[in-house]
Structure 1
């Protein structure tokens, strides 16, 4: 779907993209025409939403049924109002940052019963949720709709990012069916270093922009891992 021409204000706003070799006007137009769904507006979703909104993605869908709590503010940097729904809070943030981005709020729990309906209106999905049930439902719907899925996860001091695409491995190749949420440490039990979610969420936004614009090599068939304590990135193929 073609986007409308950039307005003079948008041309000034995205000036650093427009002069960037490989991006230019064509890349910015692709961003403006893109419809991107972010599943989860928490620690990982916050930087994803911030950078995609700043970059000029035309439509952002935001899925989250939770409300902002005080303990969220240590890492969920787009939120300020305790008790407000996270999806609505994210919408408010986006509108304040970039009025050229349209936002669709999905203030509901995504599961197998509604995932296909929610994902159906988008070109690309990013998932930074913290439980396997939601991640599996999102991945299954993305696979059925042949939508690329940027997936990120964090735990304590470590994180990882990968991209699932129609011509690549499936979610189940990386996360076997026997894996269960009870096998994974929860953020509430083990803690999470705030900036770690920023590192992983920003990497996910980068992958999304690459997929939308055709720039570079996405993390398809590859997992990029980050060791925050050791300040090391690693990569493995699967």
Structure 2
């Protein structure tokens, strides 16, 4: 796989980076990454992955841009209000990097369509804001053997984890909390979305290039008010409703 002169110039800082270099940049160019939910987490992740030279980005979201999104969803601009998020987002990402193939999927991911939509992907980033969709994404990634980067935020805190096989997302969240807090109900500081979205993109880059140690089976917790973060292990749940009943290699 070769790079054009523009790509060599564009990705120069990656090409001289020991942990990426030419092989890593080629891996990024070959990669197909799905981003589910093009909001506070998915938008910044998409911007950095497009800038990084990921070959194909699959954008999955059935929502439209609202004025209240603009406080944290920096992929969009005021003229985008009322447009579909994947259509508006695809335009901005193509303007950022014309070498990236943007696939727009303006639907809500479901058990019925997940297999077809995620076919051929290498990594999935989940930036959705409801637990039922997160559970669906988790099942689809387990079915397809895909690594899942999960990012979430609310108020002043956020979290990022990577799941690849067991433990899975439902080892961390077995069931939807009865009174789950949403950004619409409790609020969220806008810049926090950039932190979590960027960390999600970074984990995807590490997974694709083989650089460093992705947060596989670990959860990073970020406290924006205190300016602190910590990483904790996510142990496999022997009673997990998603992964405990599957056969795993010894």
Structure 1 counterpart of 2:68? 71
Number of residue equivalences: 232
The offset of 1:18, in angstroms, is 0.5
The offset of 1:115, in angstroms, is 1.2
Structure 1 counterpart of 2:206? 210
Structure 2 counterpart of 1:58? 55
Structure 2 counterpart of 1:109? 108
Structure 2 counterpart of 1:34? 31
Q: How does 1:127-166 map to 2 (within 5 A)?
A: 127-166=126-165
Structure 2 counterpart of 1:8? 5
Structure 1 counterpart of 2:221? 225
The offset of 1:235, in angstroms, is 1.3
- TM-score scaled to structure 1, two decimals? 0.96
| 1:122-167 deviation line (CA, Å, top 9, x unaligned) | 111000100001111011001100000000100110000000003x
Determine helix, strand or coil for the equivalent of 2:230: strand
The counterpart of 1:187, out of the listed 180, 183, 186, is 183
CA distance in 2, matches of 1:19, 1:125: 27
- TM-score scaled to structure 2, two decimals? 0.91
Q: Quote the RMSD (CA, aligned, Å).
A: 0.9
The counterpart of 1:200, out of the listed 174, 196, 201, is 196
CA distance in 1, matches of 2:60, 2:170: 22
CA distance in 1, matches of 2:195, 2:19: 24
The counterpart of 2:174, out of the listed 173, 176, 188, is 176
The offset of 1:121, in angstroms, is 2.7
Moved over 4 A (4+): none
CA distance in 2, matches of 1:136, 1:194: 25
CA distance in 2, matches of 1:52, 1:161: 16
CA distance in 2, matches of 1:134, 1:111: 7
The offset of 1:172, in angstroms, is 1.4
| 1:40-60 deviation line (CA, Å, top 9, x unaligned) | 110111110000000000000
User: Mind listing any 5+ residue stretches in structure 2 that lack a counterpart?
Assistant: 235-250
CA distance in 2, matches of 1:192, 1:121: 34
Structure 1 counterpart of 2:246? none
User: Mind listing any 5+ residue stretches in structure 1 that lack a counterpart?
Assistant: none
